[in-house]
Structure 1
Amino acid sequence: MAESPRGEDAVLVAVQSAVAERPGVLPAARALSHFGEHSLGWLAVAGLGALLSKSKRDEYVAAGVGAFLAHAAAVVIKRVVRRERPHHPAIAVNVGTPSRLSFPSAHATSTTAAAVLLARPTGLPLPALLVPPMALSRLVLGVHYPTDVVTGVVVGAAVAKAVEKVRRS
């Protein structure tokens, strides 16, 4: 008989029980997962913005650079930390992943950096609109622990701040 989930495993089971069964949640979470894979969706948005908005091109380019660097930072940290993804039998894994490494969430990292940096040229509150759904999706999909996601948000914000500082200098 499997041991009851504890700690972050228990949090994942609770999130999945509360949210994942609602209509449309899993398809939306999977769509976010595919969009954020390797930060490609954010690179496409930044590239499109750069092509369409000559006056704000440097801000869109900075957003693409930030999303890419945030993803790269997450990959490097994953390879150093080597924390494996959730694997308790009570946790449903609802999407495939390119690796078994979990900490930090590269999706949360690149999404945070992109949202912070895209907020400037768009004038929209993108961090508040984009980061929570992406972060929650990683838990709903059962591929990250809560601390993976929180750390990803922090790393993404730090990368965005560094990119903005370099862009302004």
Structure 2
Amino acid sequence: MDSCPRRSRDADAVRAVQATLGLPPVIKAANALSLFGEHAAGWLALGMVGAAVDRPRRREWLWATAQVAMAHGASIAVKRLVGRPRPAGEGIRPLATTHSTLSFPSAHAASTTAAAVAFGRVTGQALAPVLVPPMLISRLVLGVHYPTDVLAGSALGALIGVTSAPRKDAGR
């Protein structure tokens, strides 16, 4: 048993999510989300498509896409500073491969939340309630993050998504 009570509760939560949601169709969907969010590539691609097809708001799309990249980069930097290992053992089944052994914060959660907030601002749609929970839960289903990892990543992405904005007169 883990000597850190918070981490033990985190591991309990991952085991409970896997026991409840770890069904083949859910795991398949979680792996698809994982692939889409890897290195924020899916979100970056969507932002570039938005910039290409929505010419009147091209500048806003490009800035929102930059926010996704900033969130991803910031999460990687924090992850390296903190050095928390991914769930291993503790009855948690890793159901996906990862490029790093580091867990806190979740880069998938950070980039997804930044995309939801920033793209939502561009489109005028409330995207976060639809996009964020599936990505966060998918990381637990796959056994590659603890709940505190995804919550911290999401908070970081939200912070970047709401606080980073270009000046209205920049580039004009």
Q: Give TM-score scaled by structure 1 length.
A: 0.92
**Which 4+ residue blocks in structure 1 deviate beyond 6 angstroms?**
none
Aligned position for 1:112: 113
* Contact in 2 for aligned 1:62/1:167 (Cα 8 Å): no
Structure 2 residue aligned with 1:17: 19
What is the TM-score normalised by the length of structure 2? 0.91
CA-to-aligned-CA distance 1:41-76 (integer Å, 9 cap, x gap): 000000000000101111211121011000000000
Q: Which moves more between the two structures, 82-91 or 138-147?
A: 82-91
Q: Match for 1:63: what amino acid?
A: A
- Give the 5 Å matches for 1:16-165: 16-21=18-23, 23-164=24-165
Structure 1's 167 and 102: CA in aligned 2 closer, same or farther, altered over 3 A? farther
| Cα distance change, pair 78–131 in 1 and its aligned pair in 2 (3 A) | same
Runs of 5+ unmatched residues, structure 2: none
**Counterparts of 1:49 and 1:122, CA distance in 2:** 10
Tell me how far apart the structure 1 counterparts of residues 9 and 90 of structure 2 sit (CA, whole Å).
14
Cα distance per residue 1:84-117 (max 9 Å; x no partner): 0000241010100000000000000000001101
Q: How many residues align structurally?
A: 165
SS at match of 2:86: coil
Once the two structures are superposed, residues 112-134 of structure 1 have per-residue CA deviations (whole angstroms, 9 ceiling, x without a partner) of: 00110111222322101000000
Structure 1 contact 116–127 (Cα < 8 Å) conserved: yes
Q: In the alignment, residue 20 of structure 1 is paired with which amino acid?
A: G
In the alignment, structure 1 segments of 5+ residues that lack a partner are: none
Between the aligned partners of 2:159 and 2:76, the Cα distance in structure 1 is 15
Task: Return the alpha-carbon distance in structure 2 between the equivalents of residues 38 and 168 of structure 1.
Answer: 29
1:24 is paired with a residue whose SS is helix
1:4-32 CA distances to partner (integer Å, 9 max, x unpaired)? 993211110001111112x5101110000
Query: For 1:167 and 1:64, how far apart are their aligned partners in 2?
Result: 16
Indicate the percent of aligned positions where both proteins have the same amino acid: 46
